[in-house]
Chain A
Amino acid sequence: MGKKMLNFEEQCKIVNLLKSSSEQKSIEETLTEFFTNPKLRHFNVCYSLSLLLQDKMMLSSTERLVAFAILHRSYSSQKSAANPFISFLVNAACDEGAENYERAFILHLLGFGNSNSSKEFLKQSASEYIKKFDPSSQTFPQKEQLQKQYLEKAHPEPYACLLKSTAVKNVLADPDVPPGCDVNSAEFDLEPGAKSKLGSGDRDEALSGLIANLSLEGLIPHWIRPLPPRFPVDEELVWLNPDNNHELQWDQGMCADTSRGAAVRDLIAKALRGPLAPNQQEQVLVELANDPKLVYHCGLTPRKLPELVESNPLIAVDVLIKLINSPEIAEYFTVLVNMDMSLHSMEVVNRLTTAVELPKEFVRTYITNCISSCENIKDKYMQNRLVRLVCVFLQSLIRNRIIDVKDLFIEVQAFCIEFSRIREAAGLFRLLKTLE
């Protein structure tokens, strides 16, 4: 059910107002009485009246006049163009089918013609006005003229939804009532005391019924707005599985012997400064093997690695292999690749390649460094030594598929040609050729 436009109080007010129009009260009095009630919602009342006015037969002639007067008075404090019902009034004034007194009355209300006209005509009652009306005294202007005068300065057409402005009224004459039936004819009036006859009816009852049921909305084409479907439940239900138990842990490290691995720490410190004796070296390797975590506590840092590599390459290899999963291993590799080329560093790298997977980039950079070191070395003897070493190293890497020759082919080839006087370089060159 649509919302009712008028509350109960308003309904009573309107019904009383309309009834009182037939009395001998002046229109002015009726209006004043009506507007002294501050609780009325003017727009709703006016809109209801306008709907009733549209139904030409529902209101009596006097009621109609009072209704028009209210439509006008409700907004008379503002410019006429601001009255939301101004076009309704103008149209009614121009309605050829309407009674002339009604049209004249509206023109009077609007103050047409004699702009300074007093409100004298309101001092009489509605029925007096009709009685006294002289059709010849009134000329009816063209609709355009009225529109020009009262609507011109109107605000731009307010936004109205097309869907709603196409509405038709949702109150219809009952199609069972024969068309052309003159509801006002005395034919249907009830003789007092007579039995009710077909077609009779109480106008007041119909009127108050209508007033009670008027709604702001008319009949409009309706749009079907399907409710979206509920989202399918797929994997959404929560399935429960038993939990794993996670106990709170006791910290075993509390007051633990912090001298753990002290011997190894000492030895590693010594190993940074010079080669360890074979038995010392063995001890380090054994202890590191016994405690896989010891390597993290042996005091080696990336910065100290070069010293260890130069003094004790085998320990360095062992430590690096054990650190391979450490988050710092990349740092160790960076140090290793950037330290001066030497027999020992090469041995360390070579052993690492056979033991663990090294990052490709590391191996590449290391080889490039090897080659450039060979080229830069001044001492011929040392150079030969280094070149031979690099060649053997490279052959080993290639044979073990540690490096892909294609990656370094040109570089290595150039190296072989430059040092072709050295036997190992020639050997490496031949190896390259066979792989081509």
Chain B
Amino acid sequence: MDLRDSSPSSTPNRDGNAGDDDGVLSVTSALAKDAALYFQSRKFAECVDVLNQLNSKKENDPKVLHNIAIAEFFRDGCSDPKKLLEVLNNVKKRSEELALASGEQVESGSNIGNNITSGSKGSGTTTSLPASNCASIIYADEFDSSVASLNIAVIWFYLHEYAKALSVLEHVYQNIEPIDETTALHICLLLLDVLLACRDASKSADVLNYMEKAFGVGNVSQGENDLAASVNASESPLSRTLSEDPLDEMFSTLDIGGQNLARHTGLTSANDLPRITVDRSISGVDLKLKLQLYKVRLLLLTRNVKLAKREVKHAMNIARGRDSSMALFLKAQLEYARGNHRKAIKLLMASSNRTDAAMSSMFNNNLGCIYYQLGKYHTSAVFFSKALSNCSSLQKEKPLKLLTFSQDKSLLITYNCGLQYLACGKPLLAAHCFQKASLVFYKRPLMWLRLAECCLMAVEKGLVKGSWAPSDRSEVRVSVIGKGRWRRLLIENGTTRNRHVDSVERDVWALGDDGQPKLSLPLARQCLYNALHLLNCSELSNSKSILPSDSSLEENELSDGASSKNSNYKNLPSNDSKASTMPAALINLNGDLKEPKGGTNQEGIQTFISYYEDICRRENQMIKQALLANLAYVELELENPLKALSAARALLELPGCSRIYVFLGHVYLAEALCLLNKPKEAAEHLSIYLSGESNIELPFGLEDCEQWQVKKHIDCEEANVGAAAAKNSSPEGLEDFMFLKPDEARGTLYANLAAVSAIQGDLERAHHFVTQALSLVPDSSEATMTAIYVDLMLGFIFQWCG
């Protein structure tokens, strides 16, 4: 029997114990040991065999079932994660039921004395173990389902279902203290990855902070980096032993017995380092590197470039001589975030072991990002498609590994592709990408905005049924009908307004050949509403969590900030944060100005997290402006002036609206009013840009357009090299800024004021404005049409019909 050969260590053990007193227990535990050994040596088929023997002895034991499911999953080549999830969920449910039942038992049978004696033997036969009566209500060891929960979360994580993983993990994390070291560590690490994937900076910081203390990372190194910890260790006993003799004297006289006074000092560090016995499956330095890298990711997420730079350097130091591709990628990301594109490319080149499909897909994707930012959209397209083909070769790899699922980043890359197609003016392809990526991105307002932009671009380019090709739209046509004395002139304009309505409305939700909704204005409207809805939801939840911390600014922030931010974490972090502010406070007291290098202290974390939350809030505001502007535009196109009116109003009411969107808001609002027969009010809205009687100011300046321009930062470090490079690299896609120049915007205002004046019958004024407009936007067919209209009305063209 090969079982014996492959696990020699277990055989004597089993033989020795089998005949002895506690028959069943020792047999099962021996089998369990065998199974574990097989599992570790990745002999999953044998492992399952042993487990099945075990299962026949301990029927329906959740832990056995759990391990069977895991082993079978590996044995079958990780092919069916959904099935594994199902089994694990059942195991978890069963464990919880059992735990609950045993908890009730404790409550009812509170007669301690009797059971204790039987328990002391430690050889209780089966489930009605002494453990159950003594076990605290918090935690029943035997029915602990934390490993099952962890595994469930792992699978969700690999399937990119971060929200589901998070809800499982958060539940476990709330009660993490009793969980054994190894599992707790894995839970924390996974939770960090999930939180970072969800871009939840503040919770990530909490967990990171907890881990640094709980797993005693500071102590693993020589302590050089964890000034805070060392200061704390040396400082606190000192301050505490100030408690002078009177007390001890008193207590001893009062007959308390000071047997264990010696322990007194030993206790001091207890709550700082409760998990000093770190799990050895991850070596101290590895763990330290891991945490450091998480920290860098958190800092990058929160756009704290400066700190990230320092921390990534530190990470590189720790990583010396190890596999540091992650560190290199992060460093490249940092340089990318700082706009040092050349340097970022160099780092990526250095890191990549490009034989690995997973790595090269990431490598290519990141290069694509860099070239996109450089304005070289076609180059970036090449890299994105390379990255995608890497992904598809990854999917073909056999045997499947669990990691393969998460390494398939094709949907993320597809999103990048969508952006790149949009930048290249290919709305149909872009929309296809976004629709694919929406499986992952459906909760992001920005994704829906992009989809709406695809619709608008497709309509604009005449790619949608019922819209006019740009060549038809942008010109005024005069055709001659008849000859000689019967000659008539027919003046037509491409931009006749009701071009879309009837042709498009018919098949609003028409699906294309690929089963995706066809691009259309109604689809754009739907997307914009989706985005607005998501944005409002997130605002609502944000305001809930932000309010308390806003009211308890500064000082309270230190101690209560973490706990008030997220009630889920109420117990642990509030204690933790207090503990961690202590060292910082001590440092300040001592006038020691050196910052703790390794440990970002809580105060700093709070500042940069609130800074990050500020950024997010501002970004959301920007998105909201764009959404409302687009919505107003779409409603006008769909001839819903009332809805356009309310969207434009909402846009103008947004606090801190950028000048470009204010301009658009006024223009759309005025047009909607005009369509609703309120030319006077419309004129008033446009007139805010009037200075004096008839001169219009620039509605916005070039500086307002900056956001839209391709960024070509040159970092000070490589200013010399970078400047030359930047000069050579003129963006391919013409000007990236696709909007009106300030002067053109001014012309637009003139033209629209002319239209409004004409409608009101003030033809002189209309004539003045339209002349101005044509000098600024000579190519505008609309302005030309208005000019023709005004001329006709003024009778400049001799004898017209009617």
Contact = CB atoms under 8 A, between A and B. Distances in A.
A330 B660 CA distance: 54
A60 interface: no
Contacts of A232: 707-708
Interface in B442-467: 446, 449-450, 453, 456-457, 460
B633 interface: yes
B486 A223 contact: no
A255 B66 CA distance: 12
Contacts of B499: 3
Given A171-B488, A171-B801, A175-B797, A254 B67 contact: yes
Interface residues of A, number: 131
Contact residues of A: prevailing secondary structure: loop
B623 A231 contact: yes
B490 A198 contact: no
Contacts of A240: 329, 361-362, 365-366, 409, 412-413
A170 B243 contact: no
Contacts of A188: 484-485
Given A249-B183, A356-B271, A400-B239, A226 B792 contact: no
Contacts of A298: 134, 136
Contact of B246 (A256, A265, A318, A395): A395
A424 B249 CA distance: 13
B135 A254 contact: no
Contacts of A238: 365, 369, 412-413, 415-416
Contacts of A272: 112
User: Which of under 10, 10 to 19, 20 to 34, or 35 or more describes the interface residues of B?
Assistant: 35 or more
The winner among A55, A210, A258 for most chain B CB atoms within 10 A is: A258
A285 to B, nearest CB: 7
The winner among A54, A215, A230, A385 for most chain B CB atoms within 10 A is: A230
Contacts of B61: 254-255
A173 B482 CA distance: 11
B294 to A, nearest CB: 9
Contacts of B290: 244
A81 interface: no
A318 B123 CA distance: 28
A210 B481 contact: yes
Interface in A240-278: 240-260, 262-263, 265-266, 269, 272, 278
Given A161-B675, A229-B738, A236-B419, A260 B189 contact: no
Nearest to B755: A221
B782 interface: yes
Contacts of B154: 246-249
A225 B636 contact: yes
B480 interface: yes
Contacts of B316: none
Given A242-B325, A255-B28, A354-B264, A172 B674 contact: no
Given A246-B154, A327-B571, A355 B129 contact: no
Interface stretch (B252-260, B545-553, B599-607): B252-260
Contact residues of B: prevailing secondary structure: helix
Interface in A139-194: 161-163, 166, 168-177, 179, 181, 183, 188
B244 interface: yes
B31 A255 contact: yes
Contacts of A221: 754-756, 758-759, 766, 785-786, 789-790
The winner among A3, A174, A245, A278 for most chain B CB atoms within 10 A is: A174
Interface stretch (A127-135, A200-208, A406-414): A200-208
A292 B274 contact: yes
Given A188-B484, A293-B180, A357 B582 contact: yes
B373 A354 contact: no
Given A162-B677, A221-B766, A258 B141 contact: yes
Interface string A263-304: 101100100100000100100010000001100111111000
A359 to B, nearest CB: 9
Given A179-B799, A200-B485, A325-B274, A224 B780 contact: yes
B63 A326 contact: no
Given A171-B801, A321-B270, A297 B758 contact: no
A388 B251 CA distance: 10
A354 B251 CA distance: 15
A392 B247 contact: yes
Closest 6 CB pairs of A and B: A206-B482, A201-B484, A259-B122, A206-B486, A299-B134, A229-B739
Given A1-B477, A321-B271, 8 more contacts: A55-B801, A223-B755, A226-B745, A228-B664, A299-B134, A301-B137, A324-B575, A399-B243
17 contacts: A161-B675, A201-B483, A201-B487, A206-B482, A210-B482, A210-B490, A221-B758, A222-B493, A229-B737, A231-B623, A235-B619, A255-B54, A255-B58, A259-B123, A355-B268, A395-B246, A400-B242
